[in-house]
Amino acid sequence: MNFCSHCGNPVEQRIPLGDNRLRFVCPQCQTIHYQNPRIIAGCLPVWGEQVLLCRRAIEPRCGFWTLPAGFMENGETLEQAAARETQEEACARVRELSLYTLFDLPHISQLYVFFRAELVDLDFAAGEESLEVQLFHEHEIPWQELAFPTVGRTLKCYFADRREQVYPIRNEGIAALRPRE
């Protein structure tokens, strides 16, 4: 950042008293501008044997398939964020959300969280950020056209867990997202 979002003065980088990291600090109004990881919340919407995917209408990864997800907003819970993103991107309502996968991505300062969820009905459609929205059986998943490794990993976990009918919460780092040989 270059300028203080509070008073508009140019900011400088220094370690505030009692801190141990470089921060953007405003020498004018003394505001310390902390920058923290961003949380991306989403759903794996399920309808019987099928799961709902959205084809992205926006960059990054425009044209690729994803689970509905997006940045958590101030003033909402994680679960609300996941349901809201599902509504916005797939015009779909979900219920019975269950925390499922968490991915720590420290290299880009993001935390991805997906909930398993049941579609309430088949009344869905492409939202503003989607080109199309579609239900897929496992053998129809466009594995080579998925937008993000977190999406592919969540789907892989889901189909494996479904065979066992047990869905443990999976907290994984980037190692789990690397392509396997």
**Please, what is the minimum distance in Å from the beta carbon of residue 25 to Zn ion?**
9
Instruction: Assign residue 8 a region (left: φ > 0; alpha: ψ between -120 and 50; beta: otherwise).
Output: left
Spatial CA neighbour of 44 closest among 121, 93, 114: 114
User: Which of 24, 25, 26, 83 lies at the binding interface for Zn ion (CB under 5 A)?
Assistant: 26
Cβ–Cβ under 8 Å, residues 53 and 89: no
10 or 106: whose CB is closer to Zn ion? 10
With contacts defined by CB under 5 A, how many residues of the chain interact with Zn ion? 8
Q: How far is Cα 111 from Cα 44, in angstroms, rounded to an integer?
A: 16
b/e code 71-88 from CB counts within 10 Å (16+ = b) = ebeeeeeebebbbbbbbe
Instruction: Assign residue 103 a region (left: φ > 0; alpha: ψ between -120 and 50; beta: otherwise).
Output: beta
User: Which of 9, 77, 109, 171 lies at the binding interface for Zn ion (CB under 5 A)?
Assistant: 9
**Please, what is the minimum distance in Å from the beta carbon of residue 12 to Zn ion?**
11
Q: Which of residues 28-47 bind Zn ion (CB under 5 A)?
A: 28-29, 31
**Please, what is the minimum distance in Å from the beta carbon of residue 100 to Zn ion?**
41
Cβ–Cβ under 8 Å, residues 22 and 15: yes
8 or 37: whose CB is closer to Zn ion? 8
1 or 7: whose CB is closer to Zn ion? 7
Stretch that binds Zn ion, among 26-34, 63-71, 103-111, 120-128 (CB under 5 A): 26-34
Which positions touch Zn ion (CB under 5 A)? 4, 6-7, 9, 26, 28-29, 31
